[in-house]
Amino acid sequence: MLTVSFLDIVKAHKKLQGQVLHTPLISSAALSALAGADVWLKLECQQKTGSFKVRGALNKIASLTAEELARGVITASAGNHAQGVAYAAALRGVSALIVVPSTAPETKKAGIRRYGAELVEHGNSYDEAESYAYELAKATGRTFVHAFEDDHIIAGQGTAGLEAMLAEPDFDAILVPAGGGGLICGVALAAKAINPQVQVIGVQTHASPPWYYSFREKRLADVVYNDSLADGLHGGISQGNLDLALEIVDDFVLVEEEHVAQAMYWLAKEHHLMVEGSGVVGVAALMQGVVGELAGKKVLTIVSGSNVDAAKLAGIVARYS
């Protein structure tokens, strides 16, 4: 059962000072014109390791005992959480073993190795990688660092939302990429503690929609998964994160794969940003008008990561140029 609170996010914010970047919060005139709203971007794509995930990883590693650190850590991830854990472990001189699915992008695997972690590829999905990582944790005695169902992880991710709300506390809505749920739960906790009226809306793709259906059915729904440009959002969710989200998140929406690609191109063209598919889903939702009732409102979206293979982004840019 998750027990994370706004106080935990405030404590994480203090703990992470000097360890993470206070990423830019910018107003986008171009996206505002398209969406008919006052749109702002929180650029976690410029965070250390290329995504918000390092926030939660650093906060979690800092919570471990000396005995747990000595045994080393292990995690499963599509890539960004893995890089965050590898980076956080390297700072503490802790051994890290990372399990990724075979579908993880090369740029993310390269980042994991760059930070000195041991990399194991297993399975074709996050769920398969996670199951194998749990087996290895039992066999090796390493501490498992979950990507999203963890109070310290959620509190760390929530600091991105806290930073944005401290700078601009009057947002009417926040669009958050929704993968496992660590980011959206953390952002929702922080945002609603500061402004209870703000709407927090998760964004997924039709290719990986567990939040969209589970939120509506108020249970873990069975869904069909397909390949997606938003690989970091690909995979199942947990009961703990769903229970928390049902209390603090307002809604979830879906975007098409083509819209994700268009948003990646648009951010490269208009803002000169290299952003992965998972990081642009909020932008895609605004460009396509799938949220509704945002006209004239002040809207934030988290641009959550930049770890996309250069060749893939180049192909997308060439397609739309």
Provide DSSP, 203-272.
Answer: EEETTB-HHHHHHHHTS---------S-GGG-S---HHHHHHHHHH--EEEEE-HHHHHHHHHHHHHHH-
Strand pairing of 199-205 and 251-255? parallel
- Of 53, 60, 192, 298, which residue is the catalytic one? 53
- Of 77, 278, 304, 306, which residue is the catalytic one? 304
* Ramachandran area for residue 171 (φ above 0: left; ψ -120 to 50: alpha; else beta): beta
Contact indicator for 237, 211 with CB cutoff of 8 Å: yes
Q: How many CB atoms lie within 10 A of CB 156?
A: 35
**Tokens standing for 224?**
């069909």
Mark whether 53 is an active-site residue. yes
**Tokens standing for 230?**
């938003």
Looking from the CA of 92 toward its CB, the CA atoms found within 13 Å total 25
Mark whether 109 is an active-site residue. no
- Identify the DSSP state of 21: -
Q: Any idea which residues carry the catalytic annotation?
A: 53, 304
